Amino acid sequence: MITSVCLFLVLCVVQTNGQTLLPFNNETIQYEIIFASRREMGANAKPSRYLIQVKLNDTLREEIRKIKKQQWLALLNDSHFDWAANLMLYDMHQQDAIIYSVVAKDRSLWSELVRKNHLAFWTGFLKN
């Protein structure tokens, strides 16, 4: 069971069985879209592309990496966390995020235009 808890009316987190999963939700996630060129990332990097970069400190980023696949799937299917979870997964797995700079510039456009496709992608990706 997933529940939402707001602490001090500022920081919203997701909890499952008392364990904190995300320090943000769809409304509070802070991110940017960056262009990463092969030149900047080194010769062995993938071709130049757009990436999502969620604004987190290293400690939070390490804690988020511990979230289990089934928990990610639950977050992706929760209307309070689907957008945030999707962005975090894009960040963690360095998926090409050009669609966010062109089409899905906010949650409402993402939800309307590509949410179903992204959920299907992540469902397959996380089950492997």
pLDDT for 45 equals: 65
Cα–Cα–Cα angle for 126, 86, 56, rounded to 5 degrees: 110
Please tell me the pTM assigned to this model.
Answer: 0.79
d(CA 28, CA 43): 35
DSSP 106: S
**Mean model confidence pLDDT for the chain:** 83
Q: What are phi and psi of 44, to 5 degrees?
A: -85, 0
Task: Give pLDDT tens digits for 7-58.
Answer: 322 334 445 454 557 889 999 999 999 998 766 666 666 677 899 999 999 9
Average pLDDT rounded to a whole number, residues 66-73? 95
